[in-house]
Amino acid sequence: MKIKSTDIADTFAEAFKMWASRVVITAETRQWAMAAARSMTGFATSVIGCKCEAGIERELSADVTPDQRPGVSVLIFATDAEGLGKRLVERIGQCVMTCPTTACFNGLDAERTVMVGGQLRYFGDGYQNSKQIQHRRYWRIPVMDGEFIVDESFALQPAVGGGNILIIGRDLKTTLRAANASTKAMREIAGVILPFPDGVVRSGSKVGSKYKTLIASTNDAYCPTLRGIAPESNVVDGANCVLEIVIDGLDVDAVSRAMQAGLHAAIKPGIKQITAGNYGGNLGQFKIQLKDLLEEAA
């Protein structure tokens, strides 16, 4: 299908089953809540090298947070529930508890839970104490600016990772402009994050490598400088830049809606093609067809 001057490839994004948790961080000011959120989501772009994927979902006004203070909602994803639990303890302990004035709360309602505050409490060295309010237990851990309040347990739920679109443009400036418009539209969708820097990745990967120790390597089929050198090139004529946007979400519907919004926002002059990355349908459990997104929008 062609929309304006942009071809939409008849293909699909291949996404994967993951586990997710939502963390609500509050603080005395928006500045400190955001500082903790940025720290917690650092080095969390891909499970390939970071063990988890995390990002800021949205800012929260004081009237919707548990302690009526400014807040930030963070989503964090991992390939299994046990690994996600470990990442929550590590990142909340090292990045949120350390940040001035913060508190940290579970943001999901799900049956499966993991002890987080229940483990971090030992940092209080015996001075910590807890309080139960309406079937939720909170730990109060003494710190140098007062107390760090944290939920004892955080909920985990099945989720979806690896939704994506590839934006293929005439040049770098044009493609960056389209990618920025796309990520802005995607961030309007609740329940998703874009884990890469400002939502965009230039180093898309394929499975495997000529080097046996690597499980992933550069996606040579979409590297413009390798056109005519790599065994196969998917960079269309007249294009010299490819940027990818990866989406993780609490369910496949949220990921699909984000892809749909981002796809339409990326259609701009100079964008030759929008496509999606997949592995032939052999690895992921979800196949999100681009044509279906276009039909739903129509």
The secondary structure of residue 29, as a DSSP letter, is S
Instruction: Report the pLDDT value the prediction gives residue 280, as an integer from 0 to 100.
Output: 87
Are 138 and 129 in contact, with CB atoms under 8 Å apart?
no
Are 84 and 92 in contact, with CB atoms under 8 Å apart?
no
- Condensed to tens digits (0 to 9), the pLDDT of residues 233-259 reads 999 999 999 999 999 999 999 999 999
The SS3 assignment for 289 reads strand
- Condensed to tens digits (0 to 9), the pLDDT of residues 12-66 reads 999 999 999 999 999 999 999 999 999 999 999 999 999 999 999 999 999 999 9
Range of the domain at 43: 18-157
Torsion angles phi and psi, residue 48, rounded to 5: -60, -45
- Condensed to tens digits (0 to 9), the pLDDT of residues 119-131 reads 999 999 999 999 9
- Condensed to tens digits (0 to 9), the pLDDT of residues 132-181 reads 988 899 999 999 999 999 999 999 999 999 999 999 999 999 999 999 99
Residues 75 and 23 in one domain: yes
Residues 22 and 10 in one domain: no
Long-range contacts of residues 176-181, Cβ cutoff 8 Å, at least 24 apart: 176/200, 176/241, 176/243, 177/268, 178/243, 178/265, 178/266, 178/267, 178/268, 178/270, 178/271, 179/243, 179/245, 179/266, 181/265, 181/266, 181/268
Residues 7 and 30 in one domain: no
Distance between CA atoms of residues 57 and 71, nearest Å: 11
List 142's β-bridge partners, or say none. Answer: 147
Residues 24 and 140 in one domain: yes
Q: What CATH number has the domain bearing residue 97?
A: 3.30.70.520
Residues 119 and 23 in one domain: yes
Distance between CA atoms of residues 43 and 32, nearest Å: 19
Please state, as a whole number, how many other Cβ atoms lie within 10 Å of the Cβ of residue 210: 6
Are 12 and 96 in contact, with CB atoms under 8 Å apart?
no
Please state, as a whole number, how many other Cβ atoms lie within 10 Å of the Cβ of residue 43: 12
The SS3 assignment for 174 reads helix
- Condensed to tens digits (0 to 9), the pLDDT of residues 204-232 reads 999 999 999 999 999 999 999 999 899 99
Residues 150 and 242 in one domain: no
Instruction: Report the pLDDT value the prediction gives residue 72, as an integer from 0 to 100.
Output: 98
Residues 235 and 164 in one domain: yes
| Residue where a domain stops, chosen among 122, 157, 192 | 157
Run of H or E including 177: helix 172-186
Total domains in the fold of the chain: 2
| Model confidence, pTM | 0.95
Instruction: Report the pLDDT value the prediction gives residue 298, as an integer from 0 to 100.
Output: 55
Are 50 and 43 in contact, with CB atoms under 8 Å apart?
yes
| Residue where a domain stops, chosen among 157, 189, 219 | 157
